[in-house]
Structure 1
Amino acid sequence: MRRSHLSLLLATLAVTASAGCGGATTDTAATDGAPAGAPAAAPVHLSGQDRTWLRTIHQGGIADIHVARLAQTHAKSAEVKALGDTLVAERAKLDENLLSSAQQFGVDLPGTLTEAQSKQAEALAQASNARFDRKFVAEMLKSHKDAIAATRRQITRGSAPEVVALAKTTLPSLRSHLDLLRKAARS
């Protein structure tokens, strides 16, 4: 009887431990499609540039999503509200890819706005509708120009091929957002 309780406890712990790891296998050869006895792939070593880009783009994404949510409720024009919808949805997708990659590479990313970003968002939220629209577009233009510059730098100076590839797939979305923001600025 005692042995069956111990077996049950050990089985429960094994299932719990597996679930806590997301059910992922820790044998990298098994996940690569290589035979189980094959040597594991070498871990990716990120440079400071790679880590900085992941953190910078993620931190900017947190702010962009937060401010775009404000646009969904505070904007006067339908165009700026729609732009807020687009930025929330698309930046969230980009950020999901960044978070996944950062986790894979063991890079800790921030989870909240910086103090400066919080103050900027608070000031924006207090702006009147028409003024909100102008400030929102201006802030998003600057944010996206900075993100594009950082992403170009990552593409040319990054050392980890996986992170450079992520930057290359991120750049078209950032450019598309910049085009939408420029159009809104002309309206």
Structure 2
Amino acid sequence: MKTSFATLLSAAALLVASSCSSKPDSVEQAQQINDAKLGIKDRDTVAMNSVNGTERPAFDSNFLTKAASGGMLEVQLGQQVAQKATTPEAKSFAQQMVTDHTKANEELKALAAKKNITLPTTLGKDQQEVYDKVLAEKGVDLDKKYVSEMLDDHQEDIKAYQEAVAKTSDQDVRDFAQHTLPTLEAHLGMVQKIKPVVDAKK
């Protein structure tokens, strides 16, 4: 049976689409590297009360890898929104995110290096989706989407950092989380304040 050229093109397009959709998650890749360093072959089998102590370093590496991707999102998206925003509130907030999270990211990198924890160097899947969704908007809709995503993002970040303070057994990791929490809480207060203003813009 002869295969038409159009059919071959369709098959090739499907392969390309499949390849793009299956792009590895940089956060998961970093976590897998860290698991290998700890000798963890199957994360699901690591009991929380394990006597070998690997569950705590695994928690720390998970927290730091996710925090790294989140921090990169704040900076990279903030840089874009600071240029493209139409409202002064969104523009100012984005600039503040770049300043504060650039500093926090450097502190996180230094901590990870000290603990021999591998961090992602590009946005993780979840963070990339947020980045793409915000920048797909134009004009004031971009501002509104950005502020909405930052509200959700900082609420989630605060929970993650509070959990790290409560669960980590590493004092350096706890110190980093405690030191960063007030900044995240300040950002949440800022975005809660400007959201009604930005949402009211036409």
* TM-score, scaled to structure 1: 0.72
Map 1:1-187 → 2, pairs under 5 A: 47-187=57-197
CA distance in 1 between partners of 2:159 and 2:133 (Å): 26
Q: Is the 8 A contact 1:58 1:109 kept in 2?
A: yes
For each residue in 1:100-152, what CA deviation from the matched residue of structure 2 results, as whole angstroms up to 9, or x when unmatched?
00001100000101244334322321312111111000111111111110000
Based on CA coordinates, which of the two structures has the bigger radius of gyration?
Answer: 1
Alpha-carbon distance, 1:186 to partner: 2.1
Structure 1 unaligned segments of length 5 or more: list them.
1-44
The one-letter code of the counterpart of 1:135 is K
CA distance in 2 between partners of 1:87 and 1:143 (Å): 12
Moved beyond 3 Å, runs of 4+: none
SS of the counterpart of 2:119?
Answer: coil
CA distance in 2 between partners of 1:96 and 1:113 (Å): 16
CA distance in 1 between partners of 2:129 and 2:160 (Å): 23
Q: Is the 8 A contact 2:82 2:95 kept in 1?
A: yes
Structure 2 unaligned segments of length 5 or more: list them.
1-53, 198-202
Alpha-carbon distance, 1:166 to partner: 0.8
For each residue in 1:79-100, what CA deviation from the matched residue of structure 2 results, as whole angstroms up to 9, or x when unmatched?
1111111000100101110000
Identity of aligned residues (%): 25
CA distance in 1 between partners of 2:110 and 2:161 (Å): 17
SS of the counterpart of 1:137?
Answer: helix
Shift in alpha-carbon separation, 1:48–1:65, aligned structure 2, 3 A: same
Q: Is the 8 A contact 2:70 2:127 kept in 1?
A: no
Q: How many residue pairs are counted as aligned between the two chains?
A: 143
Q: Is the 8 A contact 1:74 1:125 kept in 2?
A: no
Alpha-carbon distance, 1:52 to partner: 1.4
The one-letter code of the counterpart of 1:125 is L
The one-letter code of the counterpart of 2:150 is M
